[in-house]
Structure 1
């Protein structure tokens, strides 16, 4: 979200455009948080207001309106990854591959509730890591409802687990979540470096979420199992699940597995072969359409176009606000608050981003923080690693605090309401979510400070040598 050198705040007094554009951004985020309108519509309307204000104040210099195209051009790779992975996941999903994996894993549990709960968490972690946050959460929510209905279990604890563990899984790779994709792209973190830096945190925070949830819902899980009937009968029922039942064509099944594997390998080697993740994602999507009997029209319809529009709006808003100089002032203020102390900056950034992500949505919070961190890191490269890795952990896990804080929570809780007409209130969700978030906040801050102090984080090439 860089702007050309011609764009600057030459309006006098300078605080006026800062105040107006800042108010537009905050108002947009608040409307998104309170869900008064669809968030994509809100983002586009906010972007239109920001552009009108920026043009009125002359913030885009002599270039004028075409600066908007420049702003969007810097982030086209993010949109390419979203489009490509959406096509890939939809096409490969039709082969029955993901359902096959899920049923095979469930059979290993033999219907024992705590073991099933563990495997739901593991599957969530696996699917979100490979398929990204929204498709992985949606797939797991659907599978949980089917499994629980068959076994006679209440799906609420399992769906809450999906909602919370998915956010840890989104930390695993560069492309596992939208926030990680944005951060990795902005900081130019190689895919393998991202995996090395964030996977230990993803596993540790996911494990904490599992143990806390088992402690909170353990009695309910056992009570459901007792009410479901004879354990021997239950084991027989689970053993009778046929993992091949949803696989219509085994040739397409194996082709889908190969295409998915090649795409994951492509993500890991993209930098070495000199291409972007958007190229790999689009290649994976096209291979799936060519070799896995995909329906192009259907697959393209499944692309999250509302998410694309949401991003377009956010990029324009943040780019317009950046032209006022407000984000630079915010960056300087953040450094001042930290007093130049890395540990204090990490704590302040981590807590702020986690709380903001829980109530606003981690995507706009991340979009706003990236240019701020870029300025701080450009002026003080030693701060780049701890601040960016703090943002990775805080932005993804912050959504655990509230039922609207992440895509995974919205998907899982909506599935419960649609299937059983049962809502999970803010109080009930936050009882588990806020406790887990508090523990994870300490883990993120401690992990970043430990890794940074020992120099264990991979270098960020963008800021190396400055």
Structure 2
């Protein structure tokens, strides 16, 4: 347990300091845990490493990178600029809203994989930094994903174990998520208002561009959009199909590779392998905390301080899961909290349904706190890095953590007013 904690803290310290690339230090930390048998090979393969997340990432990256070759992202980028009449302030608001809505019906990782290339096309053509857009998109994707059963992995886990439906999530979480989305979009629009300026001459030139000129391969575009549409439909129906989202994504990717005629080596070279291997290392490190009982101890201690008071328990779960999820992947924490809440349900001291919503809000929104708090954050940082832009831990934390705390304050007010007054 001590070694697992020490390795986690050291890896985290190096990630924050950025002295060593996060992928290298995550893999090194994972290797130490495996060498000293803190995490067994069997546990790492079968429990710690979330192959569903990795498969989803690889599959969607392949689909997006093939689709990108058609020029559709540049086309949408020009359309977006024209729709907002060149106002970057309006643009950041529109993109954030689109991202949030898409994340509610897809997963947030898929959404950022689709949206970020569009943003990079816009910012490259207008000669501005994509960082303000990226931060807003990360937030919007995690906020939007909180609203539904299928938007974020913790919600899928909660819905499955607690027997809650798609509409249960919408009725109980969508009202506060709408308020949180509007609040955060306006906050980031205000924070970045001075950075959202573009050369007027460049803007005028851009507005006169014929966006149809960007479409390079219409046949490939039709094939790509057809496969993307089928994949998205698969995500929406994955529960009824009894298929993991990774299987759907990889099936879509392999189908598009088959019918597109694109060189598979070229496509695989574009996959963000540094991001994939960072997740692999991080999963094993967090697995070390899980298998040694660290996460279980923290979760039980969090509940013990409430003395089973309904309101206090809900607030401790909300704030505890938010702070925890900002620094560690929210999936193992959610997995630990679910049986504890189910045990409380069996005891029958009080209605535990509000606790599920507290856990969902805390686990999903808490991921906005740091650059490694959620999968969408890491993927976005990787896509930016590929284009030569660095979204550092410190820069993201400066804007994101205080805003994340505000979203939890709003969630607190919502829980108290709706369920305990």
TM-score, length-normalised on structure 1? Answer: 0.71
Alignment of 1:73-152 (within 5 A): 75-125=50-100, 132=110, 134-136=112-114, 138-149=116-127
Separation in 2 of the partners of 1:326 and 1:156? 35
1:243 maps to which residue?
211
2:2 maps to which residue?
19
3-state DSSP of counterpart to 1:280:
helix
Asked if the contact 1:124/1:136 (under 8 Å) is kept, the reply is: no
Q: 1:158 to 1:82 in 2, by over 3 A?
A: closer
Q: 1:338 to 1:140 in 2, by over 3 A?
A: farther
CA displacement, residues 49-90 of structure 1 (integer Å, 9 cap, x when unaligned): 3334446xxxx8xxx7544433257x3323222222221222
Greater Rg, structure 1 or structure 2? 1
Separation in 1 of the partners of 2:131 and 2:190? 15
Shift of 1:333: 0.9
Shift of 1:20: 3.5
Q: Is residue 255 of structure 2 the alignment partner of residue 287 of structure 1?
A: yes
Asked if the contact 1:167/1:408 (under 8 Å) is kept, the reply is: no
Alignment of 1:302-451 (within 5 A): 302-358=270-326, 360=327, 364-381=328-345, 386-387=354-355, 389-398=357-366, 400-401=368-369, 406-407=377-378, 410=381, 418=388, 432-447=399-414
Shift of 1:285: 1.1
What is the Cα-based RMSD across aligned positions, in Å?
Answer: 4.1
Asked if the contact 1:168/1:206 (under 8 Å) is kept, the reply is: yes
Q: Which runs of 5+ in 1 are unaligned?
A: 1-17, 455-466
Separation in 2 of the partners of 1:434 and 1:319? 25
Separation in 2 of the partners of 1:306 and 1:173? 30
3-state DSSP of counterpart to 2:186:
helix
Q: Is residue 151 of structure 2 the alignment partner of residue 184 of structure 1?
A: no
Separation in 1 of the partners of 2:278 and 2:336? 21
The number of equivalent residue pairs is 408
2:34 maps to which residue?
51
Asked if the contact 1:260/1:284 (under 8 Å) is kept, the reply is: yes
Asked if the contact 1:376/1:384 (under 8 Å) is kept, the reply is: no
Separation in 1 of the partners of 2:60 and 2:215? 21
Q: 1:303 to 1:214 in 2, by over 3 A?
A: closer
Q: Which runs of 5+ in 2 are unaligned?
A: none
Q: 1:101 to 1:413 in 2, by over 3 A?
A: closer
- Which of 200, 207, 210 in structure 2 is aligned with 1:228? 200
